[in-house]
Amino acid sequence: MRITDTADMWWKTAVVYCLDVETFMDWNDDGTGDLAGLAQRIDYLSELGVTCLWLMPFYPSPDRDDGYDITDFYGVDPRLGTHGDLVEAIRTAHDRGMRVIVDLVVNHTSDQHPWFVASRESKDSPYRDWYVWVDEPPAGQQPEPVFPDQESSVWTLDEKTGQYYLHHFYKYQPDLNVTNPAVRDEIARIVGFWLALGVSGFRVDAVPFFIDTIGESPTALPDPHQVVRDLRAFINRRSGDAILLGEVNVPFKQQLEFFGGSEGDELTLQFDFITMQNMYLALARQNAGPLQRALEQRPEIPRECQWGTFVRNHDELTLDKLSDSERQEVFDAFGPQKRMQVYGRGLIRRLPPMLDGDADRIRMVYSLLFSLPGTPVLFYGEEIGMGENLEIGDRTAVRTPMQWTSEPGAGFSRNDDAETFPAPLVTGEFGPEHVNVQAQRADPDSLLNFVRLLIARYRSSPELGWGDFEVLPQSSEQVFVHRSTWEDAVIIAMHNFGPDPVTVPLELEPGSTAIDLLSPHDEEIKGEVDLGRYGYRWLRVITPTTRRLR
């Protein structure tokens, strides 16, 4: 179904904010964040400029994988609240002009899910075919588990029935059998349920694994992508402007397939992992070349689709699409200690500690994020420069409680027993005593207020979400300059990846000038632009035609 009304494509200029309810705000003082606490902090997100809230899993779960091992796709974890609390949070967000999307984790279930419990009862169970069972793992090379330090195979033997079941992730997360029409119908019911409660779409977890048909007959589902097409068509029928934001970490050519090719009838948005990884390589080298090449290699996508751009997400900061030598460069620059690395392919750090707290460099990166073509996605705490807790280890090092104040519980909870928290607080120079919302709200020069400015300028600059993108070649390798053009409007963004000041030529048509959107002054700029150490500029080009329209 083609969308023709630009108002329905709200995601083109959205600002997405990802959070985990259990680490965001504890309202009943039991040490765990909850939906009531989230509702109390919606105004903060609205003030920041967030237009779309992405909730990580809040479903009932044994919580062995931070909620991604789900036992009820229709439920709400009682530790976090009730369906009523969730609806109240969604309603409050809607009242502030904010949409809500939720995680759709249907590649697998928990091994404690009633479906899997019934499935392993016997080979004759009605739920047996809801999962992938084989007498022996298929011959030939097997895919590597997603977490190779935890699992040695994607197949585990169930001693009760003598067959192996498939799990791309942990063995306690058996994969659902997407070739089974009953499973696909159930997924549609799950999606319909949450749409009816007011959500505006879904962040779809691990999409390539979701439609992987390993262990099944190739004739059972000749085109696995039909699963995504059917899901997109279903949400379009139920809610014309709901979205599917896909986690698809594959080469660009394959990503284009997950958009639905030229038809654009599969995922609405996809995270751009390749550009993110090359951005970190560019930061490590202090050379904009890797970022520029990645953006120029992006395939053209349908108008109904969009890239999701990000600096950090809730998982490891994966570098798997870089070469071994390139990955080592990033490790050497930003994660030289083994405890900072994970799975041999990624980092478990947040940006500010990686950049040694360098305020100029941190701000340059976020200026870059909001000026790149695509929809920016923030992970909670990025707006204040939170760090990670390496003592936790693994991916959860970045999933620490939100730092609201400098108080002992970081304003996250009034419970003085930190042992009850879902994760330990960050300590040291990035801990709540030094990094918190309360202090930064009162400081006009804080990172929080800078990000708020970036969001405001981004939201008032449709060129960035809708425009055609073009890299403007530069003589200095440390400078990245690009132009976004939409109808008669043009923005030129400049970013200096190096510590040395540079002067960048600004070539404009006769009679045209430019205004820096990030400057408090309205001075018009012509000719050359000075960029300080890790400097940045957003220049709106004013032509004789647009000047008359102002």
pLDDT score of 5:
57
What is the C-alpha to C-alpha distance for residues 31 and 25, in angstroms, rounded to an integer? 9
- What mean pLDDT comes out for the span 506-533? 89
Segment 176-204 shows an average pLDDT of: 97
Local confidence band at 2 (pLDDT 50, 70, 90 cut-offs): very low
99-104 and 201-204 strand pairing: parallel
The tally of CA atoms less than 13 A away on the side-chain side of residue 96 is: 23
Residues carrying an active site annotation = 205, 247
Residue 221 has pLDDT above 90, yes or no: no
Q: Quick check: 550 pLDDT over 60? A: no
Domains of the chain and any CATH numbers: 114-166 (3.90.400.10), 461-549 (2.60.40.1180)
Residue 416 pLDDT level (bands cut at 50, 70, 90): confident
User: Using 50, 70 and 90 to split pLDDT, how confident is the model at 4?
Assistant: very low
The distance in angstroms from the start CA to the end CA of the chain is: 37
pLDDT band of 322, cuts 50, 70, 90: very high
On the question of pLDDT at 345 being above 70, the answer is yes
513-516 and 524-525: which strand pairing? antiparallel
Residue 480 is inside which H or E element, if any? strand 479-486
Question: Average pLDDT for residues 312-338, to the nearest whole number?
Answer: 97
Is 60 exceeded by the pLDDT of residue 56?
yes
**Spatial distance between the Cα atoms of 367 and 104, rounded to a whole number of angstroms:** 30
State the Cα–Cα distance between residues 487 and 452, nearest whole angstrom.
26
Q: Per-residue pLDDT averaged across 278-307, rounded?
A: 97
Look over the chain and give the mean of its residue pLDDT values, rounded to a whole number.
95
Query: Could you tell me the pLDDT band of residue 521, with boundaries at 50, 70 and 90?
Result: confident
Amino acid 3: pLDDT: 44
347 pLDDT band, cuts 50/70/90, is very high
CA 243 to chain centre: 14
**Higher confidence at residue 20 or residue 419?**
20
Please state the rounded mean pLDDT for residues 236-258. 96
Percent of the chain with pLDDT over 90: 89
User: In 10 A of CB 253, how many CB atoms?
Assistant: 9
Task: Please tell me the distance from the alpha carbon of residue 73 to that of residue 132, in angstroms, as a whole number.
Answer: 19
The answer to whether residues 478 and 497 touch, using CB atoms and an 8 Å cutoff, is yes
**In the prediction, which pLDDT does 511 show?**
86
Confidence at residue 406, expressed as pLDDT on a 0 to 100 scale: 97
**Phi, psi torsion values for 259, nearest 5 degrees:** -75, -20
For residues 102 and 184, what is the distance between their CA atoms, to the nearest angstrom? 19
d(CA 46, CA 41): 9
Contact 515, 547 (CB under 8 A): no
- Which residue spans within 361-432 are E strands per DSSP? 375-379
Residue 209 reports pLDDT greater than 60 = yes
Give the pLDDT band of residue 218 (cuts 50, 70, 90): low
pLDDT at 258: 98
Higher pLDDT, 213 or 491: 491
What is the pLDDT, as a whole number, of residue 208? 96
Residue 513: DSSP 8-state: E
Strand intervals (E) in 287-374: 306-310, 317-318, 341-342, 346-347
Output the pLDDT for position 372. Answer: 98
Query: What pLDDT is attached to residue 526?
Result: 83
Q: What is the pLDDT of residue 546?
A: 65
pLDDT category of residue 1 using cuts at 50, 70 and 90: very low
* Residues in a beta bridge with 147: none
Average the pLDDT over 66-94 and give the result: 98
pLDDT at 547: 55
Beta strands in 83-207 (DSSP E): 99-104, 133-134, 155-158, 163-166, 201-204
Percent of the chain with pLDDT over 70: 97
The gap from C-alpha 57 to its chain's centroid, in whole angstroms, comes to: 14
What's the whole-number mean pLDDT along residues 447-463?
Answer: 97
Specify the pTM: 0.96
What's the pLDDT at 332? 98
